[in-house]
Amino acid sequence: MAGKRVSIFEVAKAAGVSHQTVSRVINHSPNVSPATRAKVQAAIDRMGYRPSSAARALATQRTKTIALIAGGVSYFGPLSTISSIEGMARKHDLYVSSSILNDHEYTQEAFEQVANACLEQGVEAFVFVAPTEPMVQAALGARIKVPRVLLTSSHGETDIESVTSKDPGIACLGIDQWGAMRTIAKHLASLGHASALYLAGPGDWRDAATRRIAWEHESAAAGIKSDVIEVGSWSGEDAYQRMGSYLDALADPKADMPTAIVAANDMQALGVRRALYDRGFYVPRDVSLVGFDDMPGVDNAIPPLTTISPDFSNLGVAAMSTVFSLMGGGNPVDLPLRHGVGVIGAPLVVRESTAAPAAR
């Protein structure tokens, strides 16, 4: 039978049972005796039978397929979350149909084309990894009747809360960026820092927007005077250039530079560290340094980097649990809300890059 797909009827004939009995074994029905189940399974294994997903979908009106449409996948956070989503789907016998869009391709038209192609395949829900403002707007504006879960951040141009309050089939989840920035501000204040420099990320990313707004609010609340360097990207090289220009413009860098620097992500922090080193500054002797993301390797930087460690894995788990709930298969995930976005914790990992400021 090489090259020919084995049918359920051939398995039934080989096992000496009805095709309905084979179907019950495949679908793990309890209404089959152990002996019959073993006989049918032996025939399945011997003949190499694999159920037809198309036939199963026609019979059950279920494809068990989730569409994952993602942007920002060249960065650590989105990649980690996507891996967790796919792992959760496999555990629940769901298939994930993934579509990766570059940031510049994430127009409403391009999004609609991808979403419609997924709907034609009978997907039962969507998960959008939507870190930028255009992605969020496209995902929320799409004409989709099945449940959708967006992974994004709480602050930006789009008022997510007003959208989700009107449509129970939409849920938004993300990392607690605001709580993370509060933790950084309190940590630095507890060490005695009263001045800081903040490097902002790309303005069209909601993560960057939320972190900046939260930092400006929380640093002020902690009694820290903060200035901002506009980087405009997540790049360590861009941060290196901007930090170098900032230092070179100071009349007396040793005296004029703030005692702490907070970067919007770890790559920026590494670029800042290099710019400081090139000019004879040492971390944390001359200035404390904090990152965000806890990327692999930053625990072995010189010195090991104090940073926020978002629970990207748990975010993926929560996303899939929310999908199951919206599909009617479980209880909703109980998460604290920030502007309509359910948030996952992001603790601060304190390492050797932060210390009390030296006397100047």
- Give the CATH number of the domain where residue 296 resides: 3.40.50.2300
167 and 316: one domain?
yes
Residue 40 lies in a domain: no
Residue 285 lies in a domain: yes
Identify the band that residue 1 occupies on the pLDDT scale cut at 50, 70 and 90: very low
The pLDDT of residue 61 is 45
Residue 14 lies in a domain: no
Report, as an integer, the average pLDDT of 285-297. 96
Question: For 197-217, how does the pLDDT look when each residue is reduced to its tens digit (9 = 90+)?
Answer: 999 999 889 999 999 999 999
Range of the domain at 334: 65-175+312-344
171 and 183: one domain?
no
Residue 49 lies in a domain: no
Distance CA 142, CA 161 (A): 17
Exposed (0-12), middle (13-18) or buried (19+): which is 28, by Cβ within 10 Å?
exposed
Query: How many structural domains are present in the chain?
Result: 2
Residue 1 lies in a domain: no
Question: For 111-134, how does the pLDDT look when each residue is reduced to its tens digit (9 = 90+)?
Answer: 777 777 777 777 788 888 888 888
The pLDDT of residue 130 is 85
182 and 279: one domain?
yes
Q: Which has more confidence, 199 or 318?
A: 199
Question: Which three-class secondary structure string do you get for 128-195?
Answer: EECCEHHHHHHHHHCCCCCCEEEECCCCCCCCHHHHHCCCCCEEEEEECHHHHHHHHHHHHHHHCCCE
* pLDDT at 55 exceeding the cut of 60: no
192 and 108: one domain?
no
- Tell me the three state secondary structure of residue 172: strand
170 and 316: one domain?
yes
102 and 162: one domain?
yes
Provide the mean pLDDT of the chain: 86
Contact 197, 226 (CB under 8 A): yes
Exposed (0-12), middle (13-18) or buried (19+): which is 330, by Cβ within 10 Å?
middle
Residue with tokens 């930006």, as numbered in its chain: 156
Residue 242 lies in a domain: yes
Report, as an integer, the average pLDDT of 58-80. 67
The pLDDT of residue 116 is 78
Return the percentage of the chain with pLDDT > 70, whole number. 90
Q: How would you classify the pairing of strands 348-349 and 306-308?
A: antiparallel
Q: Which two tokens stand for residue 56?
A: 């199963």
Contact 127, 146 (CB under 8 A): no
